[in-house]
Structure 1
Amino acid sequence: MTKAPRDIERIYSTADVVAKLRRLADALETESSFRIQIAGERFRVPGRAQFSIEHERGDDEEEIEFQLKWKLDGTGEPDEGEPIV
């Protein structure tokens, strides 16, 4: 079953972001896959995901994006014991 395309941006409290980033850092450090919930949808991020940081500057604002990107492998099933970030 193919999932519908999705492109959302969600604002979280500082405490929520700190908690997500701490768990994300642990998963990245061990090259482990993990599950994350964003705007009510949970999904799996594999340990092979590529991490990038982007900086954009405009006339009246700047933006930094932390991005994880990966190719879909077709399974979509989380590994047992994966933490939810």
Structure 2
Amino acid sequence: MSDDRDLEKVYTRKQFAAKLRRLADSIETEKAFTIQVAGERLKIPADAEFNVEHERTGDTEELEFQLRWKRAAE
């Protein structure tokens, strides 16, 4: 069984802003961030790596704020 997945969820502006605020607060206070995506609760550790990615395809632009971390051994 593969643990690979690639999900995307669309939020309202208000919901998205609230999630970004919670994330920013966690980053500033160097605390873990927890979010639920498609029914799965994810805990992003305080030492996660952050990057910003920009993609351009034809007349479409995309900006992604990414967090990357290693899963804890189960």
**TM-score, normalisation: structure 1:** 0.78
Identity of aligned residues (%): 51
Query: Which residue of the partner structure matches residue 7 of structure 1?
Result: 6
In the alignment, structure 2 segments of 5+ residues that lack a partner are none
**What CA distance in whole angstroms lies between the structure 2 residues aligned with 1:40 and 1:31?**
25
**What CA distance in whole angstroms lies between the structure 1 residues aligned with 2:42 and 2:2?**
11
Query: Which residue of the partner structure matches residue 70 of structure 2?
Result: 71
**What CA distance in whole angstroms lies between the structure 1 residues aligned with 2:70 and 2:56?**
28
Query: Which residue of the partner structure matches residue 30 of structure 2?
Result: 31
Aligned length: 74
**What CA distance in whole angstroms lies between the structure 2 residues aligned with 1:16 and 1:74?**
32
Tell me how far 1:3 sits from its aligned partner. 7.5
Using CA pairs under 8 Å that are at least 6 residues apart, name the structure with larger relative contact order, 1 or 2. Answer: 1
Question: Which deviates the most, 50-59 or 36-45?
Answer: 36-45
Query: Which residue of the partner structure matches residue 42 of structure 1?
Result: 41
**What CA distance in whole angstroms lies between the structure 2 residues aligned with 1:25 and 1:3?**
31
The CA RMSD measured in Å over matched residues stands at: 1.7
1:16 partnered with 2:26: no
Which ranges of 4 or more aligned residues in structure 1 deviate by more than 4 Å? none
SS at match of 1:74: coil
Higher strand share: 2
